[in-house]
Amino acid sequence: MRQTATPNPTKSGFLGRMSMTRGEKHNFWLGLLFVSPWIIGFLVFLAYPIVSSAYLSLTDFTGFGTPNFVGLENYQRMFQDEIFYKALQNTLYYTVLAIPIGVVVALILAFAMNQALPEIGLYRTILYLPSILPAFAVSFIFIWLLNPKFGLVNLFLGMFGVPTIDWFGDPEWSKFAIVLLAQVGAGGNALIFLAGLRGIPKTLYEAADIDGATPWHKFRFITLPLLTPVILYNIITGLSGGLQVFESAYITTGCGPADSTLFYVFYLYNNAFRYGQMGYASALSWFLFIVSVLLAVLLFWWSKRWVNYEVVS
Partner 1 sequence: MTRTKKSMWLARIVLVVACLLFLSPFYWMINTALKEAPELSVFPPTLVPKIWKWENFTEAMGYFPFWRYLGNTVLITVLSTIGSVASNFVIAYGFSRIHWKGRDALFGIMLATMFIPFPVTMIPTFIIFAKLGWINTYLPMIVPSFFGAAFSVFLLRQFLMQIPFEISEAARVDGASEFQTMWRIILPLSKPALSVVAIFSALGTWNNFLGPLLYLQDEKLYTLSIGLTAFRSQHDVDMNLLMAASTLVVLPVVVVFFMFQKAFVEGMTLGSIK
Q: Among residues 41, 58, 121, 130, which one has the least CA distance to residue 281?
A: 58
Binds partner 1 by CB under 8 A, chosen from 97, 213, 247, 256: 247
Q: For partner 1, which is the closer residue by CB, 73 or 247?
A: 247
Residue 249 φ then ψ, to 5°: -70, -40
The closest alpha carbon to 129, from 50, 169, 187, belongs to 187
> Which range of residues in 42-50, 160-168, 205-213, 218-226 is near partner 1 by CB under 8 A?
42-50
Q: Which of 188, 225, 257, 276 binds partner 1 (CB under 8 A)?
A: 188
With 0-12 / 13-18 / 19 or more C-beta atoms within 10 angstroms meaning exposed / middle / buried, residue 113 is buried
User: Which of the stretches 2-10, 73-81, 96-104, 170-178 binds partner 1 when contact is defined by CB under 8 A?
Assistant: 2-10
Which DSSP string do the residues of 6-31 spell out, in sequence order? Answer: ---TTSSSTTSSS---HHHHHHHHHH
Q: Give yes or no for residue 205 binding partner 1 (CB under 8 A).
A: no
Candidates 74-82, 85-93, 126-134, 202-210; binding stretch for partner 1 (CB under 8 A)? 126-134
- Of the candidates 68, 89, 164, 240, which one interacts with partner 1 according to CB under 8 A? 240
CB atoms within 10 A of CB 6: 7
Residue 277, φ and ψ in degrees, nearest 5:
-115, 60
Phi first, then psi: what are they for 150, rounded to 5°? -115, 10
Q: Is 247:135 a contact under the CB 8 Å cutoff?
A: yes
Residue 258 CB partners (closer than 8 Å, separation 6+): 171
Q: Which of 66, 82, 132, 216 binds partner 1 (CB under 8 A)?
A: 132
Instruction: Select the span of 73-81, 85-93, 193-201, 217-225 touching partner 1 (CB under 8 A).
Output: 193-201
Q: How far is the CB of 244 from partner 1 (least distance, A)?
A: 5
257 forms part of the interface with partner 1 (CB under 8 A) = no
Backbone angles phi and psi of 115, in degrees to 5: -80, 145
Are the C-beta atoms of residues 293 and 282 closer than 8 Å to each other?
Answer: no
Smallest separation (angstroms) from partner 1 to the CB of 263: 10
Would you say 174 or 278 has its CB closer to partner 1?
278
Provide, rounded to whole angstroms, the least separation between the CB of residue 264 and partner 1.
8
Terminal alpha carbon distance of the chain: 27
- When asked if residue 293 is in the footprint of partner 1 (CB under 8 A), the reply is yes
Interaction between residue 129 and partner 1 (CB under 8 A): yes
Stretch that binds partner 1, among 70-78, 79-87, 168-176, 292-300 (CB under 8 A): 292-300
Whole-number minimum distance, CB 83 to partner 1, in Å? 17
